[in-house]
Structure 1
Amino acid sequence: MNLKEASRRFLLHCQSAVTLSEYTLRAYRSDLADCVAFVGPRKSIASVQAEQLRAYIFDLRSVRELKESTIKRRLATIKLLVKWALHEGRLKVNPFDALNEKIRLPRRLPRALDRDDSRRLRRAVDPAAAGTDFDRMRRSVAVQLMLETGIRVGELVSIACQDVSLADKVIVIHGKGNRQRLVYLYKPALLRAISRYIARRSSIVTRHEELFLSAVGAPLTTAGVRRELRELAVSAGLARHVTPHMLRHTCATSWLESGLDIRFVQKLLGHHSISTTEIYTHVSDQGLRAALERVKQGRFR
């Protein structure tokens, strides 16, 4: 079986047997297409050796000068293809066993909004500012939900109407790896905003089950959320480039600074490992240091 055919069958397996999200499937498809183009689409998957993989890594790193995070992701996808091929009996030897390549990522602190920027953004998404325009109301609720619950942008656009329980004040979130969790609508203002939005959404003609729609009934996309958030941040007077993941970081940092146990934060964010959540303790420490500086300068409020 050549690489092109193996990639096609692997993606079909991911789509049917593993039921990955369309976002993940697109990423897999792109990563595999890049590798296949480099190694050669007609090359047998059984003949791929560590030398070809090493040459591919050299091309990604030294010729194209891609980020280490991109290289790590592409190799992770190829490893999944190889694992599938081994299971299917298409491979007898794993070429990664002889590779001995380490991809070291710089440990970066997550970027969160500071208190001033967070306050400006919250004012901009105030329900009163949205008025009666449906798209502005939907944008306001979506941003509020990300700010208050820390959900990922992919999780936001995947919420279906049946996932929301206003009576129980919870939303079922379908996270990475098909893992489900609950997020809680504990702030009355957010609960009221979602309730009003759902009432307005019922008047939209659509065949889609997603909670967040445009005024013409089309489901919201991750790209649409990013674009609207950028526009909202500019209108709110924020100088920095704001992304949905920054809202997730802002929420997580706020929880830890308020004294919420890190295990609870891990569960609320849907992190598989506590080590992923622990990085926010460093951000929280930075916030503490900044507060102490304000005390030192007599500016503490």
Structure 2
Amino acid sequence: MINLQKWAEQYLVACKYQKGLDPKTIKAYQIDLSQFILFTAPLGNELTRTSMMEYISDLHQKYKPRTIRRKIASVKAFCGYLEYEELISENPFTKLQLKLNAPLILPKTIPFSVIEAILSAAYHQGQKPELSEKQQKASLRDIAVLELLFATGMRVSELCSLKCSDVNLTEGEVKIYGKGAKERLVQIGNSAVLAALQTYYVLNHPTIEHTGTFFVNRLGNPLSDQSVRNIVVKYTRLAGEELHITPHMFRHSFATLLLEEDVDIRYIQRLLGHSSIVTTQIYTYVSGRKQRDILSTKHPRNKVHI
């Protein structure tokens, strides 16, 4: 009998060091595999098509299609690893016919006017004369964070993991390490954004150089994902907006607004760090304003004169 727990641990190590997967992805795999092993324990941890179907049936009673698809993908990949290691003769998922039609969930974007209001609120806050030195440093950092989120479309985890050496203020470019440790280089094309980053760096460079991390908190530690979320919430409220806005929505807005400006989707794919253009194509469903513009100016009905 295979010790699934032991091999699951070895598989996760391989995912980390051989595949270079993101820690959050590995954590999700760990949760999915632990649940799977717990389910199959009463069945003697048998990896047969029958036990897989029972497992999938159990998932259908507990989760939505999107979650089911992820959990099945995790277990299927693990079984593929076991097959490769010759611990099982065949991946039990090989001949299973699965149809899980998850509903299309469109990315939530921020109206451009709201982005403008949030940035304005941040700059206004940073210019208040009554701010202490620590408060001013924090405000200028917040401005740099918001500007960089919108300027590059990077994920919040990518922003928080930026090293000092990843940000080239002389050339105006940022090296981003995405999922699977994939590297991409994004240019800072706006002088105001670059100025915000330079101002933040000048005031904080001793701490930045000491920690090696570009964005730091008031204690001199690397900025956390939650801190960035708090920054977004803070300036959304200061802007007088009641919308629930998250850092990731800046990424969605970055892509959608570029698409509306006729930027080639393949270029947007590279900027976002997507492995497949299929992932990027979700933004083509979002741009309602662009659709209206196209139909109002390009539709052949405009040439019909009655």
Same fold (TM over 0.5): yes
- 2:287 is paired with a residue whose SS is helix
Q: Equivalents in 1 of 2:47, 2:294: separation in Å?
A: 55
- 2:94 is paired with a residue whose SS is helix
2:230 match: 227
- 1:204 is paired with a residue whose SS is helix
- 2:174 is paired with a residue whose SS is strand
1:268 match: 271
Query: C-alpha displacement at 1:150, in angstroms?
Result: 0.8
Q: Structure 1 residue aligned with 2:285, among 277, 282, 287? A: 282
Q: Structure 2 residue aligned with 1:147, among 147, 150, 175? A: 150
- 1:177 is paired with a residue whose SS is helix
Higher Rg of the two aligned structures: 2
Q: Structure 2 residue aligned with 1:179, among 159, 182, 202? A: 182
Contact 1:10 1:84 in 2 (8 A): yes
Residue 131 of structure 2 is aligned to residue 130 of structure 1: no
Structure 1 residues 77-226: aligned runs within 5 Å: 77-126=74-123, 128-131=124-127, 132=133, 133=135, 134-204=137-207, 208-226=211-229
Residue 240 of structure 2 is aligned to residue 237 of structure 1: yes
Q: Equivalents in 1 of 2:113, 2:90: separation in Å?
A: 56
Q: 1:177 to 1:15 in 2, by over 3 A?
A: closer
Q: Deviations over 1:97-127 (max 9, x none)?
A: 233222222112221111322221221232x
Q: Equivalents in 1 of 2:214, 2:145: separation in Å?
A: 10
2:304 match: none
1:15 match: 16
Contact 1:2 1:43 in 2 (8 A): no
**Which ranges of 4 or more aligned residues in structure 1 deviate by more than 6 Å?**
290-293
Q: Equivalents in 2 of 1:139, 1:291: separation in Å?
A: 37
Contact 1:3 1:42 in 2 (8 A): no
Q: Equivalents in 2 of 1:80, 1:31: separation in Å?
A: 11
Letter in 1 for 2:3: N
Query: C-alpha displacement at 1:291, in angstroms?
Result: 10
- 1:98 is paired with a residue whose SS is coil
Q: Deviations over 1:133-178 (max 9, x none)?
A: 2333322211211111111112111211111111111101111222
Q: Equivalents in 2 of 1:29, 1:207: separation in Å?
A: 34
Contact 1:185 1:191 in 2 (8 A): yes
2:38 match: 37
- 1:113 is paired with a residue whose SS is coil
Contact 2:208 2:216 in 1 (8 A): no
Letter in 1 for 2:125: A
Structure 1 regions of 5+ residues with no counterpart?
294-301
Query: C-alpha displacement at 1:234, in angstroms?
Result: 2.6
Q: Equivalents in 1 of 2:239, 2:64: separation in Å?
A: 32
Query: C-alpha displacement at 1:279, in angstroms?
Result: 2.3
Q: 1:171 to 1:56 in 2, by over 3 A?
A: same
Which of 165-174 and 102-111 deviates more?
102-111
Contact 2:177 2:183 in 1 (8 A): yes
Which of 266-275 and 129-138 deviates more?
129-138
Give aligned pairs, total.
Answer: 288
TM-score (normalised: structure 2) = 0.85
CA RMSD of aligned residues (A): 2.4
Letter in 1 for 2:51: Q
Contact 2:160 2:223 in 1 (8 A): yes
Q: Equivalents in 2 of 1:73, 1:32: separation in Å?
A: 11
Residue 248 of structure 2 is aligned to residue 252 of structure 1: no
Identity within the alignment, %: 33
Q: Equivalents in 2 of 1:227, 1:68: separation in Å?
A: 31
Contact 1:205 1:216 in 2 (8 A): no
Q: 1:261 to 1:98 in 2, by over 3 A?
A: closer
